Amino acid sequence: MTPVELLALLEPTAAKLYDRHMGVAKEWFPHEYVPWSRGRDFDPERPWSPDDSDFGEGGWKLPDAVRASLFVNLLTEDNLPYYTRDIHGIFGGDSAYGAWARNWTAEEGRHAIVIRDYLTVTRALDPVALERARMHQVRGAQVPAPDDLYEALAYLSMQELATRIAHRNTGKLIEDQAGQDVMLRVGNDENLHYLFYRDLATAALEVDPSSMMIGIERAVRNFAMPGTGIENFDALAKEIAKAGIYDFKIHHEQILVPVVLRHWKVTDVTGLSAEGEKARDAVVKRIDKIGKVAGRLSREPETV
């Protein structure tokens, strides 16, 4: 089955999932989440300092790992134009797929707005460094690029869930109610996006199990958080992992096992071709291996 044929068969399912999303997604406004009264003018002659951060009474300071996570999370949201470009290229701009992509783009746009406004008001990040990083990121136009529709369905499902987890875990480490509320609100959106892609991938697995199994295997093997193109991303990712915001253990226990093994039930899929069977064996072995590595690293935190 070709990707074009699969998209045609899945379009009614995509329409139902889009209608479901619109029925449960709540309207919200970024300006209502930002503590504007805590803001003040920036002096261009005075460089930013971590001591400038305003997190209310108590003198709490934002840990470096949380600052790194907020930095990566926001730059990821800033790269929205290229995700939209790629999603449009994979799914097309017509029917339910186009409606979903446009609405998804609008909802994701709010995430960058509310996170940036919160960080600016509280001075949590150096605004000059952040803007320079945004320019570098968007100029580079780099995003993870699945090979085809099948890998894309699997990757987008896992990536949206991973993003939800990263946002929520970051919020939990911010000792500021406004910051917690911002990251929880964004995480809730990401969860709804995850459900759309997960259930569309489920339908694809039923229609074309062999091609989807091959796509799932590639997505698991090549999975990368959407930080491609961010300067010093590897170092930032290590810092984020050390803080327990997103690491190998979380990836295994909260992404691979619940989605690939439990929801998609890859071990129970029938009607696979020889290549599909080979892909299933590979993905199950890889998930098991990732679990073992994650367990080892969790016992050796200094090596994470």
Q: CA 279 to CA 6: how far, in whole Å? A: 19
Asked if 231 contacts 136 with a C-beta cutoff of 8 angstroms, the reply is: yes
Residue 225: the pLDDT is 82
Tokens found for residue 48: 């930013």
Span 80-101, pLDDT tens digits = 999 999 999 999 888 999 999 9
Residue 287 to residue 6: CA distance in whole angstroms: 27
pLDDT tens, residue by residue, 247-268: 999 999 999 999 999 999 999 9
Spatial distance between the Cα atoms of 85 and 153, rounded to a whole number of angstroms: 16
Name, in order, each residue with C-beta under 8 angstroms of 251's C-beta and a sequence gap of 6 or more. Answer: 162, 223, 290, 294
Angle formed at CA 225 by CA 219 and CA 229, multiple of 5 degrees: 115
What is the chain's length?
Answer: 304
pLDDT-derived band at 56 (thresholds 50, 70, 90) equals low
Which H/E stretch holds residue 116? helix 95-122
- 254: how many CB neighbours lie within 10 A of its CB? 16
Q: How confident is the model at residue 299 (pLDDT cuts 50, 70, 90)?
A: low
Question: How far is 202 from 157, CA to CA, in rounded Å?
Answer: 10
What pLDDT band is residue 145 in, cutting at 50, 70 and 90?
confident
- The amino acid at residue 55 is F
Instruction: Please tell me the distance from the alpha carbon of residue 87 to that of residue 103, in angstroms, as a whole number.
Output: 12
pLDDT band at 61 (very low <50, low <70, confident <90, very high): confident
Give CATH for domain 3-24+60-207+228-246.
1.10.620.20
Q: Where are the domains of the chain?
A: 3-24+60-207+228-246
pLDDT tens digits, 1-50: 899 999 999 999 999 999 999 999 999 999 999 999 999 999 989 999 98
pTM, 2 dp = 0.93
* Type of residue numbered 99: A
> How many Å apart are CA 223 and CA 303, to the nearest integer?
21
